[in-house]
Structure 1
Amino acid sequence: MKQNHSSKTSILKTIGPGFLLAGAAIGVSHLVQATRAGADYGFILFWVLLLACISKYPFLEFGPRFAAGTGRHLISGYKRMGKFPYWAYIVITLGSMFIIQAAVTIVTAGLAERLFKFGWSPFIWSFIILGSCIALLLIGKYPGLDKSMKIIVTFLAVATLAAVIMAFGAGTVGRALETRPPSLWTTASIGFMIAFMGWMPIPLDASVWHSIWTREKSLQTKQQVSIKGAFIDFNVGYLSAAFIGLLFFLLGVLVMFGSGTSFSNNSIEFSAQLVDLYGRTLGNWSKPLIAVAAFITMLSTVLTVTDAYPRVISELKHPERDRTEEVKNKWRIYKYSIFIIPALSLSILYFLSGSFTILVDFAAGLSFLSAPFLAWFNYQLVTGEQMPLKFQPGKNYRIFSLLCLLCLVIFNIIYLYYTFLL
Structure 2
Amino acid sequence: MFTKFNQILKNLGPGLMYAGAAVGVSHLVSATKAGAVYGFLLLIFIPLIHIIKYPFYKFGPQYTAITGKNILHGYRALGKWALFTYMGMTIITMCLIQSAVTIVTASLALKIFGSSIPTNYAAIIVLLIAASVLFFGKYSLLDKLMKIVILTLTVTTIFALLAILFKGTNDAQEVAAPVFQFGNLSDALFLAAFLGWMPAPMDITVWHSVWAEEADRSSGKKANVKQAMFDFKIGFIGTACLAMCFLALGALVMYGSGETPSPKGTVFAGQLIELYTDSLGSWAYPVIGVAALATMISTTLTCLDAYPRTLDESVLILKNEKEGSERKVDSKNIYRLFLSITVAGTIIIFLFFMKNMGQLVTLATVVAFVSAPILALINYLVINGKTIDAENKPSKLMKTWSILSIICLFTFSIWYVWIRFVK
Question: If the length of structure 1 is used for normalisation, what is the TM-score?
Answer: 0.92
Aligned residue in 1 for 2:274:
276
Aligned residue in 2 for 1:388:
389
Aligned residue in 1 for 2:229:
231
Please state whether the residue corresponding to 1:152 is helix, strand or coil: helix
| Matching residue within 148, 156, 159 for 1:162 | 159
Aligned residue in 1 for 2:301:
303
Question: If the length of structure 2 is used for normalisation, what is the TM-score?
Answer: 0.91
Aligned residue in 2 for 1:3:
none
Aligned residue in 2 for 1:54:
51
1:189 has 2:190 as partner? no
CA contact (8 A) 1:375 1:405 kept: yes
1:206 has 2:215 as partner? no
CA RMSD of aligned residues (A): 2.5
Aligned residue in 2 for 1:348:
349
CA deviation map 1:346-365 (0-9, x unaligned): 22233444576665555344
CA contact (8 A) 1:66 1:211 kept: yes
Aligned length in residues: 415
Aligned residue in 1 for 2:243:
245
1:335 has 2:336 as partner? yes
- Aligned ranges for residues 5-404 of structure 1 at < 5 Å? 14-172=11-169, 175-176=172-173, 178-185=175-182, 186-264=184-262, 269-319=267-317, 327=328, 329-353=330-354, 360=361, 362-404=363-405
Measure, in 1, the Cα distance between the counterparts of 2:221 and 2:303.
26
CA contact (8 A) 1:17 1:234 kept: yes
Residues 255 and 353 of structure 1: is their aligned pair in 2 closer, same or farther, counting only changes over 3 Å? farther
CA deviation map 1:168-226 (0-9, x unaligned): 22322764464222332211111111111121111111111111111111111111221
CA contact (8 A) 1:369 1:412 kept: yes
CA contact (8 A) 2:124 2:350 kept: no
CA contact (8 A) 1:195 1:365 kept: no
What are structure 2's unaligned runs of at least 5 residues? Answer: none
Aligned residue in 2 for 1:5:
none
Residues 290 and 157 of structure 1: is their aligned pair in 2 closer, same or farther, counting only changes over 3 Å? same
Deviation at 1:260, TM superposition (A): 2.8
Please state whether the residue corresponding to 1:36 is helix, strand or coil: helix
Please state whether the residue corresponding to 2:340 is helix, strand or coil: helix
Deviation at 1:267, TM superposition (A): 5.8
What are structure 1's unaligned runs of at least 5 residues? Answer: 1-7
Deviation at 1:13, TM superposition (A): 6.1
CA contact (8 A) 1:17 1:213 kept: yes
CA contact (8 A) 2:96 2:360 kept: yes
The amino acid that maps onto 1:242 is A
Deviation at 1:263, TM superposition (A): 3.2
CA contact (8 A) 1:227 1:391 kept: no
Deviation at 1:236, TM superposition (A): 0.9
